[in-house]
Amino acid sequence: MPQLRIALAQVNACVGDLRGNADVVVDWTCRAARSGARLVVFPEMVLTGYPVEDLAIRQSFARASGRALEELAGRLEEAGCGDVAAFVGYLDLDELGVRNAVAVLHGGRVVARQYKHHLPNYGVFDERRYFEPGTTLDVVRIDGLEVGVVICEDLWQDGGPIAALGHAGVDLVVSPNASPYERKKDDTRFELVARRAVEAAVPLVYANLIGGQDELVFDGDSMVVGADGSLITRAPQFVEHLTVLDLDLPGGAPRAEGDVEGFTVTRTVLTADPVAAYDPLPVPRPAEPLSDEAEVWHALVTGLRDYVRKNGFRSVVLGLSGGIDSAVVAALSVDALGADAVHGVSMPSSYSSEHSKSDARDMAERTGLHYEEQPIAGMVEAFVEQLGLTGLAEENVQARCRGVTLMGLSNQHGHLVLATGNKTELAVGYSTIYGDAVGGFAPIKDVLKTKVWDLARWRNAEAEKHDEVPPIPENSISKPPSAELRPGQLDTDSLPDYELLDDVLDDYVEGDKGHADLLAVGFAPELIERVLTMVDRAEYKRRQYPPGTKISNKAFGRDRRLPVTNAWREG
C-alpha cells in the first residue's frame, strides 16, 4: 500500500502582511521538509490573511497577492524545500474577477490552482460580495497518488466538490480552512469532516488558521480523518503547530476523466512514481479537547493578544473597579501580554466603597500589573457644579470622567484602552456611552455576565492546580455587582437577576426568538417586555462600542446587523 508523508501547518497569519505571511510559509515548509514530508497544507488565504474584506476590491492588493505567490514559489526553492508540494491559500485575480484560491507550489513554480466554489454569505461571512466562484477541480499527482482540494465552505456543502473528487478517484482530499472559533464548534467540525471523508471514501486532511483578526479568532483544531470517518490525529487549539504523519493510501482507484458531477476535473503531475517506503513515524496522538471554560479563555487571550500586537500597541490600560468584569479583563490581559504591559487604574469617586479600592489593589498585587489611583471626585464636582447636573446626568458624568482619564493616559503613554463591559450589559444598554464604553478593544464584549463569573472561577482554579496565586480576588467574584454611581447602588436595582436575564438574552439575541416564542418557553410577560425594550433601545450604543472577540454563534456586530432607526417592536 503506497505511503505519503503529509504535514499540516496550523499557523497565524496577519491580514495584509504579504511579506510576513510568506516568511511564515517558507519557515514552516522547511520544517515540513526536514521531517520528510512530501506535501504541506496551509490554511485558507494564509498568504493574505483572512478575512481581507474590502481589500479584495482593490485590484492593487489582488495583484500584489499574485506577485507574492510567484515570489514565494521561488523562495521555497532557494530555501531548499522546493521538492515539498506546498498548498498555499491566497487571493487570485483573473479575467473573471477576484478569487479565493489555493495554489500548489513545487520546484520553484506555481504548478496548480484551485478556486473556492461555495462562497459563504451568512454570519460574519460576506464572500459573495468579493469573489467569483470556481468551476474546476485540479487534482495533483504526487508519488503516484492523486490529491484533491476543497476550500473551507466547499466542505460544508452536501455533495458538491467533495462528492465529485470521490467520483474522480482521488486518493486523498486536503482542505485549507479559515474557520472562526465559536463555543463547541470543534465537535461540529469533526462530525462534518468525518461525514465528508466517508462521502468521498478517502482520508481527509483539514488545516485551519489560528490567531486573532479584529473580532474573529481562529482556533486551529486541524485534523486528519480516515476514509471510514475515524479520527487519526488532531492538533491542539490556539497554538501554531506542525502535524506530520504517514498515510497509507490504497492508490490505483479508477480515474475519471473530463466532467464529473458538474465539475471539470484537470490533473497536474508533480511526481508520477512512488518514492521508497518511509521509515514509519508514530501517529501523533490527538490533542486533548479543552473544557468549555478553557476553550473560551484561550480564545479571549488569543483575540486580545493578536489585536494588540498586530496593531502595533505595546501596552494596555483599563479601569480597575474592584468588580468582576474589570478583574477578568485584567487577568486576560496579563495572560495575553504579560504583567509589565498591563496598566490598571483605580478611579474612585465620592461614592466608591472602600472594598472597590482594596479589591482593585489586591488584583494588581496578585498579578503584578502596573497600578495607580486617580481619584475623580474633583473632576466630577467641576462638571456637576458648572452644568447643574443631578440624577442620572450626575451619575453618568462619573463614568465619563473615568473615560476621559483613561483616554488621557492612553494619549500620553501610547496604551490601548480596554473597555471592560460584558455582553449582558451591552445587550440591555447598561453602560455609559463615552464613559465606561470608551476604548479601542473590548475583550469580554461577547461574554454574558454569568459566563464572566464562570471564567473567573475557572481561572482561579487553574492557578491553584499549578500552585500559583489565583489572579482574581475572591471578593470581586462573590460581592453583588455595582456601578457605584450613587449611594448603595446595585445592578439589580436596574436589571433582572443575571441568571434569568442571560437566559432571556440567549433566546432573544442568539436564538432570534420573538415575543411569542419567549412566552412559549415560559418567561413572564412583564420580564419579556422589560428586557426586549432595553435591548431594542440600546442599538445605538452597541453601534458605537469597540470591537471585541467573538466566541458565540451570534456576536454583536457583523453577526447581528439591526438598524439603529427601527420602529419594529416584538409583542
Q: What single letter denotes the amino acid at residue 16?
A: G
Question: CA 108, CA 363: separation in Å to the nearest integer?
Answer: 54
pLDDT digits (tens, 9 = 90+) for 333-369: 999 999 999 999 999 988 777 878 899 999 999 999 9
pLDDT digits (tens, 9 = 90+) for 436-446: 899 999 999 99
CA dihedral 485, 489, 495, 501 (to 10 degrees): 100
pLDDT at position 3, please?
84
Among 14, 81, 116, 127, which one carries the catalytic annotation? 116
Q: Helix, strand, or coil here: 465?
A: helix
Please give the backbone phi and psi of residue 106, each rounded to the nearest 5 degrees, phi first: -160, 135
Helix, strand and coil percent figures for the chain, each rounded to 5: 40, 20, 40
pLDDT at position 243, please?
97
Q: Helix, strand, or coil here: 204?
A: strand
Cα distances from 560 to residues 156, 180, 416, 510, 555, in angstroms, run: 22, 16, 26, 9, 7
Residue 513 annotated as catalytic: no
Q: What is the largest CA-CA distance in the chain?
A: 86
Report the DSSP pairing between strands 241-248 and 3-10.
Answer: antiparallel
Cα three-residue angle 397-401-407, rounded to 5 degrees: 140
User: Which domains are assigned to the chain?
Assistant: 3-271 (3.60.110.10), 292-492 (3.40.50.620)
pLDDT digits (tens, 9 = 90+) for 173-197: 999 999 999 998 888 899 999 999 9
Instruction: Assign 270 a pLDDT band (cuts: 50, 70, 90).
Output: confident
Q: In the chain, pLDDT over 90 holds for what percent of residues?
A: 74
Decide if pLDDT at 1 tops 60.
no
Q: What is the pTM (predicted TM-score) of this model?
A: 0.93
Residue 309 C-alpha cell reads as 500586537
Q: How many helices (H) and strands (E) does the chain have?
A: 16, 20
- Cis upstream peptide for 51 (omega within 30°): yes
Among 81, 152, 215, 513, which one carries the catalytic annotation? 152
How many C-beta neighbours within 10 Å does residue 288 have? 8
Question: CA 60, CA 22: separation in Å to the nearest integer?
Answer: 18
Decide if pLDDT at 136 tops 90.
no
pLDDT digits (tens, 9 = 90+) for 451-471: 999 999 999 999 999 999 999
Strand ranges of the sheet holding 316-319, from the earlier edge strand across to the other edge: 370-373, 342-346, 316-319, 416-417
Residue 152 annotated as catalytic: yes
Decide if pLDDT at 411 tops 80.
yes
Residue 223 C-alpha cell reads as 485534523
